[in-house]
Amino acid sequence: MPERVMNREDDVLIEQRERCFQGFYRLDRVHLQHRLFAGNMGPTISRELFVRPDAVCVLPYDPQTDSVVLVEQFRIGAMDKSPEPWLLEIVAGLIDTDEQPEEVARREAWEEADLELHELIPIMTYYPSPGGSDERVYLYVGRCSTVGVGGVFGVAEEGEDIRVHVWPLAAALQAVQDGRIDNAASIIALQWLALNKAAVQADWLKL
């Protein structure tokens, strides 16, 4: 017997939505009821919701050298819990205009790493923290050449100070294993590439 699929219209009742803060991001407080698995509507609950644009993350990969491009930058979210809040990550940015996710991937690679991406393979879309945020991430791997890649880039007026690294894929995977790379998008993308490298290389090395 298939499980019952709940839908927003019949199973979630929003009683009130308050805007608590509006800055670069937004914080709402939502008072709602939702249907319980037993079938009846549950009690009213209140939840804070971090409202932000969706994000695009892309792992640049050079199939000729079996290497990836990683970016290093200061992250305020890691400031209180990491001895060094300069994190190694993949290229990323927000969809805060009418751009399509693939356009954002290419633009951010250029801005953050002075890097041109060629073919893009969509890995997945996912919610990084659905218990309190509505953000959805579009995750890709992108073909690039790592010849001459490196340096410090970023959009100065956005306060970006980004150092670009080229690492062998094996070294990046070891950094995941060691906990040096400890952010979700990078871990997912690198592990996906490890699982699918043979197919990706077979496709891209023909180009």
Tokens of 197: 């490298």
Cα–Cα nearest to 111, from 171, 71, 68, 84 = 71
Rounded distance between C-alpha atoms, residue 184 and residue 186, angstroms? 6
Active-site residue (options: 3, 9, 157, 158): 158
Encoding tokens for residue 203?
């496709």
Query: What gap in Å lies between CA 192 and CA 175, rounded to an integer?
Result: 15
Long-range CB pairs of 126-131 (<8 Å, 24+ gap) are 126/188, 128/184, 128/185, 129/50
158 is catalytic: yes
Q: Which residues are catalytically annotated?
A: 158
